[in-house]
Amino acid sequence: MAVETPLKGNIGDSIKRKEDDRFIRGKGNYLDDVVLPGMLHMAIHRSPFAHARIKSINTDAAQGVPGVVAVVTGALLAQHKLAWMPTLSGDTQAVLATDKVRFQGQEVACVIATDPYVAHDAAALIEVDYEVLPAVVDPKKALDPGAPLIRDEKEGQTSNHIYHWEAGDKAATDEAFRKADRIVTLESFYPRCHPSPLETCGIVADVNPATGHATLYMTSQAPHAHRTLFAIVAGLPEQNIRIISPDIGGGFGNKVPIYPGYVVATAASLLIGKPVKWVEDRSENLISTGFARDFHMKGEMAMRNDGRILGLRVKLLSDNGAFYADAQPTKFKAGLFHIVTGSYDIPAAHVEADGAYTNKAPGGVAYRCSFRVTEASYLIERLVENVAVEMKMDPADLRLKNFIKPEQFPYKSATGFEYDSGDYPRAMQLALDKIGYQELRKEQAEKRKKGELMGIGIASFTEVVGAGPGKHYDIAGLRMFDSAELRVHPTGKAILKLGVKSQGQGHETTFAQIVTEELGIPAADIEVQEGDTDNTPYGLGTYASRSTPVGGAATAMVSRKLRDKAKKIAAHLLEASEADIEFDHGKFFVRGSPSKSKTIQDQGSPDSGGRRLWGADQPDGGRGPDSWRPHRGLRDRVHGIDHLRRRGQLSRVQLHRLPVADLLGDAQVRNLRDGDALTASSDRRQGCR
């Protein structure tokens, strides 16, 4: 009878998520679970208008409500030079409005009270006398001559234009279009959407007036970066700030920006001398926090009659809302949108991007992508599909004809991205074969003869993840890197500390599996810690698909450093030269004698002698991003060869099959649920799910 070996939790092993036991028992620790002695509560009074000048603010009724401790206005913050704060994109944003409101839902005043219901009731009693101004919510109209000037407080600002940015070679692209047999054009609008995480944003600010130390419990996707930004905004010494990001109920980029509520709660705690909690409600989250998309795009593709792409020209207008507060690398004004050439070998390309202020909420975020890559993929794939229709070519054949070929790698795109390797035609063909593409086309033709509608859609994208290398990427002046610290105790158990922060992705399991793969320590014996800036190494956090590519790389690197240390001890215990020691599947052994071996956990046993040599939980540190490589940062996916059937003009639409082929480099893969498995390794294996 075969005996099953228990899974240790290596990469690819489908083990139970380590963090789920506490969640399914209702023992998670979220921001609203934090209760401190003497804690006060804050509520925000928001503008009902998209654009209006503030003539006066009357807080008398609010201040008279029993239980109200303080009412904070922009004028009060201005006395402490806190009325405005810097944004992640180098602009400024009002903390509490002083001169006028610039979007519906903007923060105007705050009430601090002993009870959250008292705070909200009192906030509703604040009276603001507004002079309503014309509002503009279309970025095209915002750039018209004579449009209402939104940022009239900025010296030298005479229009609603924010930036102009270009990528690629304009002259080469213009020449490609002159040589084209055909030009296909697409104008598209990718409308604004909201990440809407299950848990809204909030903070519990606890500033000790005697010591000046601030402990801030925050719904933060990037605790270390937020600590630095708080030091800049609030003027507190960074070493006196501790940010604790507890369990987070979803982020999707929404919890990357610094919001006015965070700043006011911290200032109020400093001035009053008591902890202050602010947790926004769902409406507040939707109307005032970081959005995604809102891009007006025009794409033109220069084509030869044989279906070869000669050039790509793109013009983009971004609606940035009332303040330019996008979360993105500093040097790229429209995120990484210039990955718009995608998986295709396009000889010449040119991208022009402009941003405009409107009377909407600010803060474009990397929602389910890496800094505007989704918008870029949406445009290029729709454009390629339009080319196929206009040129009467099969959309799969058109893509296969224009994909970057394996022999072209390493490849530099016309907009400056470096791709190190890939086999895009192979990934596409795998998906085509899985769905039975040719048979589907025959079925489609037969159904159309009967008057039935059946569609077949194809899409492919190359995604930038990890946001590196660090020498080229920063946010608000902070170089984009991440770190890991690993301690192995004398008993062979381990603690891994990370600079990234989970919002429900399963970091405690994922990163433990990387250590298991590198060192052989069972995942159950590894504790993963993150989110506390006093207890974890500096890092830029979790967003833009960067945790595993960067934080995971740091974890692998620190594990290998510690393995080198353990190899010396194993050599002593096995009475052999270090040069003769090999490591495989978690075991050290003398070359040629695998039967006699030592694991890292063996080295800590009382009778091994290794505990004395190992020392007491000595830490090793690793830093991932400086070794960021393009194969960790580029992912190609044939996403959605799907076919849809619709019977009749107004009847239901049914999705029948959706194979997805991913082309990956070194991959951390874990089964999140049965039936959704994907495997890959350093030989760039293709998986189809």
Q: How far apart are CA 494 and CA 492, in angstroms?
A: 7
Q: What pLDDT is recorded for position 7?
A: 64
Whole-number Å distance between alpha carbons of 201 and 503:
12
Three-class secondary structure of residue 9 per DSSP: coil
Give pLDDT < 50 ranges for the chain: 1-4, 611-613, 615-618, 625-651, 672-689
- Which of 659, 664, 656, 661 is closest to 680 using CA atoms? 664
* Beta strand spans in 136-213 (E): 161-168, 182-190, 202-207
Are 379 and 385 contacting, i.e. CB atoms less than 8 angstroms apart?
no
408-446 pLDDT, tens digit each: 999 999 999 999 889 999 999 999 999 999 999 999 999
* Residues facing 461 on adjacent strands: 637
Q: What is the separation, in whole angstroms, between the first and last Cα of the chain?
A: 33
Q: What is the DSSP letter of 403?
A: B
Question: Residue ranges of the alpha helices (H) in 180-324?
Answer: 223-234, 260-272, 282-288
Q: Could you tell me if 485 and 497 are in contact, meaning their C-beta atoms sit under 8 angstroms apart?
A: yes
**DSSP at 331:** T
Least Cα distance to 253 among 169, 150, 372 occurs for: 372
- Hey, what domains does the chain have and what are their CATH numbers? 34-135+206-250+255-288 (3.90.1170.50), 161-194+291-403 (3.30.365.10), 424-459+640-688 (no CATH), 482-623 (3.30.365.10)
Identify each DSSP E strand in 499-586 by its residue range: 526-529, 581-584
Quickly tell me which residue has 């929404």 as its tokens.
Answer: 254
The answer for residues whose C-beta is within 8 angstroms of residue 392's C-beta and 6 or more apart is none
Give the Cα-Cα-Cα angle 97, 86, 32 (nearest 5 degrees). 75
Cβ neighbour number for residue 179 with a 10 Å cutoff: 11
E strand or H helix that includes residue 79 = helix 74-79
Rounded Cα distance between 529 and 507, Å, is: 9
| Secondary structure of residue 686 in the 3-state scheme | strand
pLDDT at 603: 75
Per DSSP, 247 falls in state B
The residues near 96 (Cβ < 8 Å, ≥ 6 apart) are 72, 73, 74, 77, 83, 107, 108, 109, 110, 260, 264
H or E element: which one contains 570? Answer: helix 553-573
